[in-house]
Structure 1
Amino acid sequence: MRFNPFSADVRRDPYQTYRQLREAPAHKTLGMWVLTRHADVKAVMRDRSFSAGLIPQLIRRQADRFAPGEVGRIERLATKSLVFTDNPDHARLRALVNRVFTAQSIAALRPRITLVAEQLLQDARDRGEMDAIADFAAPLPIQVMCDWLALRGSIRAHVGQWTHDIRFLLEPGLMQGHDLRHVHTVVEEFAQALAEVIAQRRAQPGDDLISRLLAEETAGGDRLSDEELIFVCIMCFVAGNETTKSLVGNGLRALLLNPDQDRQLRALPVLAQGAVREALRYDSPLQLTKRVATRDVGRIRAGDQVLLCIGAANRDPEVFADPDRFDITRNDEEHLAFGHGMHGCLGGALATLQAEVAFETLYRRAEGLRLLTDRHQWQDHSFIVRGLKHLPVAL
């Protein structure tokens, strides 16, 4: 069969297509090898000879096509960001950033995440209903990251829109000339604003993420440059916002469409951790990611692009019993929603914590939640991220 990730049917429900794809061996479509089986997707993620550097190549290609000489910062952002780099650059950056993104530092954010979630929910309770995406799932990760970075004033007011505008960097093939120029402008504005914050923190350090990244250095004295630190901060928003928003939204939708699971979490909010884990598996926010082969591997030749269908792998019946059933008590730990291997998601623990707190808050504080429509629209500005445009609910 021919797999078209851009089609309306796949956007509405990709899982029937995935079931058919898993029955066939790896095949090519749209010039890419498409892998859907859990074992195949995990193997490529683990194999460092499959490069994550395809995005910088595509950005350079689009820049040469639409705006030669005008997008230097975008190109540097792509080539010097953890998300897109291979070793040795990746290992160097990861060694510095991992010192700050520790389990302990992320766990310490729980009280602040809880406060933000409760404030958002209280606003909704005053109205009696909310759009769980626009009023809850979307502002939560933006506010939490702004708090961790201790951003204040005008920069905080712009971060949400900047993050949304820069999302094209994750899918540069979708950019037209005007998109590329706009992203370039936004990245410059974002970078300049962060440069001012970094200068302030260097003079007056605190306990925020930027101050801690400024203070980190390896045993050999290596540190992040100011521009590398700017890129880390930008990608914290760009890579973390859409996926966390979609995790909360997709998970809440799955709960409300499965009344037995909704009742179970309502009775035992301590099951929130299991609900998040199952939401990640059942309706993964990041459905697709790409690699490029640097050597021949079976039928795949060096230079070939490989499309990894994470959403398909996470419903592979070879790994997950009754994979199309949403079950918050499922004990499987094998989902690939945060990737695997060297490029496992740096912010996965933070996204998980925010979703846990979101579900705990919704199921401990609200008297009950009810969907106000059974017709759900999926966002169409990305084909790699699966998330809802709106999710109206009554409280």
Structure 2
Amino acid sequence: MTVQASGPARPRVRFNPFSAEFRCDPYPMYRELRLSAPVHKTLGMWVLTRHADVKAVLLDRSFSAGLIPQLVSARAERLGQSDVGRIERLGRKSLVFTDNPDHARLRGLVNRVFTASAVAELRPVATAVATRLLDSARAAGSLDIIADFAGPLPISVLCEWMALPGELRTRVGPWTHDIRFLLEPGLMTAADFARVREVVEEFAAALAEVLAARRRRPGADLISRLCATRTGGGDALSEEELIFVCIMCFVAGNETTKSLIGNGALALLRHPDQAALLRNDPENARAVVAETLRYDCPLQLTKRSATRDVEVGGQLIRAGDQVLVCLGAANRDPEIFAEPDRFDLTRGASGHLAFGHGMHGCLGGQLAELVAEVAFAHLRTVEMTPLADEFDWQDHSFIVRGLRSLPVRIRDVA
């Protein structure tokens, strides 16, 4: 059947996710694009900004999530990097970048371990870590919410869940920061490839030792459970798949959870009436998480590639075309959310796409929500005063929106 589509849309603004203006505040650009060209082609890809179009692509399994491994291979070849076998396999065998049937197999195994009850068991762990971090800040009277709280909290919780040995825990954070380049291969230099290759090998070797120890003496930790998980037919994760699952838990979960906490803290500082709702009722910590995910989601953009000709929003997308779905734009679509530019803890925020949608919905979403909820429940116990007038947004990623730092003066709430 022939697909009919209208002529090309012409945006009133130029989409430029690399600009300083977009990094500081992407939402005016999203708003203009939704109005003038919600589905348009630029920078060699289709850009989608409406909630309906973004959700449709995320649900359509004919849009492949395997684009990143392809881009890694292409970038490596362009830069003359030949020894990237483990890096390529990390991409091809990771849940984030696989399509069916590989995705269904991996997800079926990992879902047996990443259960709601298993995540709920981590609340005391997250609470203990958050208490320790905030108590240290109380003694100093000040806190960089990003460096001193939002950054170490999710890393520490994951390390506890995996029961990693102490000497390994200090290395996981820097390793994760380096490997994140794989999510945006177009930004990688030859030096970046060399560093990522080195780090992936070091990380894999360290985890192989942990896996061997857990097989000898299994426990109740995440790695032991992953080693033991089997399907009804006896299928299990291979050694390398186990290692890749553990690595991607950090790579996919740390930066986004850190940014979720930081973005929410900034929204509370800018909206004292909403901060008062949190301060007066600790149950509102969950509402802060949900509304932050909608209002200023950490993962702003994600890519797909079309495997067939398909019409989206009146535009014909050809097989092989790249598609950039703007999650941050979809989450402020006035067709779905009333007064979308208002930070409002009472709205409910159901329907946001911060964790994606469909079969590639974020596996670690429940853990991110739990850690962030614990973080805001702790931050409500202190009064925060910003120590800067301008806020420095990170520029090492164009798909993740998060602050580089957020220094505040703190004192206990009277």
**What TM-score do you get using the length of structure 2 for normalisation?**
0.94
The residue that corresponds to 2:29 in the other structure is 17
Q: Does 1:302 align with 2:302?
A: no
SS of structure 1 residue aligned to 2:392: coil
Quick one: which amino acid aligns to residue 330 of structure 1?
A: R
Give the Cα separation in 2 of the matches to 1:69 and 1:384: 26
Q: CA, structure 1 residues 67+201, in 2 after alignment: closer, same or farther (shift >3 Å)?
A: farther
Deviations 1:146-192 (A, max 9, x none): 00000013211100000000010100111011101110000000000
Task: Note the 1:330-349 alignment, pairs <5 A.
Answer: 330-349=347-366
The residue that corresponds to 1:393 in the other structure is 408
SS of structure 2 residue aligned to 1:220: coil
The residue that corresponds to 1:87 in the other structure is 100
Q: Does 1:52 align with 2:65?
A: yes
Give the Cα separation in 2 of the matches to 1:157 and 1:266: 33
Q: Which runs of 4+ in 1 moved over 3 A?
A: none
Quick one: which amino acid aligns to residue 21 of structure 1?
A: L
The residue that corresponds to 2:392 in the other structure is 377
Gaps of 5+ in 2: 1-12
Quick one: which amino acid aligns to residue 9 of structure 1?
A: E
Q: Does 1:276 align with 2:293?
A: no
Gaps of 5+ in 1: none
Q: Does 1:362 align with 2:389?
A: no
> Given that residues 370 and 394 in structure 1 are in contact (C-alpha distance below 8 angstroms), is that contact kept between their aligned partners in structure 2?
yes
Cα distance, 1:67 vs structure 2: 4.1
The residue that corresponds to 1:259 in the other structure is 272
Q: CA, structure 1 residues 376+68, in 2 after alignment: closer, same or farther (shift >3 Å)?
A: closer
> Given that residues 50 and 333 in structure 2 are in contact (C-alpha distance below 8 angstroms), is that contact kept between their aligned partners in structure 1?
yes
> Given that residues 214 and 223 in structure 2 are in contact (C-alpha distance below 8 angstroms), is that contact kept between their aligned partners in structure 1?
yes
The residue that corresponds to 1:315 in the other structure is 332
> Given that residues 129 and 156 in structure 2 are in contact (C-alpha distance below 8 angstroms), is that contact kept between their aligned partners in structure 1?
yes
Deviations 1:103-123 (A, max 9, x none): 000000000000000000000
Deviations 1:304-354 (A, max 9, x none): 000000000000000000000000111231000000001000000000000
1:129 counterpart (128, 142, 150): 142
Deviations 1:86-132 (A, max 9, x none): 00000000000000000000000000000000000000000000100
The residue that corresponds to 2:6 in the other structure is none
Give the Cα separation in 2 of the matches to 1:91 and 1:25: 31
Cα distance, 1:371 vs structure 2: 1.4
Quick one: which amino acid aligns to residue 288 of structure 1?
A: L
Q: Does 1:327 align with 2:334?
A: no
Give the Cα separation in 2 of the matches to 1:185 and 1:154: 18
Quick one: which amino acid aligns to residue 41 of structure 1?
A: V
2:252 counterpart (213, 216, 239): 239
Give the Cα separation in 2 of the matches to 1:310 and 1:332: 14
Give the Cα separation in 1 of the matches to 2:386 and 2:221: 38
Task: Note the 1:214-229 alignment, pairs <5 A.
Answer: 214-229=227-242
> Given that residues 81 and 190 in structure 2 are in contact (C-alpha distance below 8 angstroms), is that contact kept between their aligned partners in structure 1?
no
Q: Does 1:288 align with 2:301?
A: yes
Cα distance, 1:209 vs structure 2: 0.3
The residue that corresponds to 1:138 in the other structure is 151
The residue that corresponds to 2:20 in the other structure is 8
Cα distance, 1:236 vs structure 2: 0.1
Q: Does 1:38 align with 2:51?
A: yes
Give the Cα separation in 1 of the matches to 2:221 and 2:19: 43
Task: Note the 1:163-178 alignment, pairs <5 A.
Answer: 163-178=176-191
Q: Does 1:117 align with 2:130?
A: yes
Quick one: which amino acid aligns to residue 360 of structure 1?
A: A
SS of structure 2 residue aligned to 1:243: helix
Quick one: which amino acid aligns to residue 394 of structure 1?
A: R
Give the Cα separation in 2 of the matches to 1:199 and 1:70: 26
> Given that residues 81 and 193 in structure 2 are in contact (C-alpha distance below 8 angstroms), is that contact kept between their aligned partners in structure 1?
no
Quick one: which amino acid aligns to residue 86 of structure 2?
A: R
Cα distance, 1:370 vs structure 2: 1.5
SS of structure 2 residue aligned to 1:369: strand
CA RMSD of aligned residues (A): 0.8
SS of structure 2 residue aligned to 1:33: strand
Give the Cα separation in 2 of the matches to 1:116 and 1:331: 28
Quick one: which amino acid aligns to residue 64 of structure 1?
A: E
**What TM-score do you get using the length of structure 1 for normalisation?**
0.98
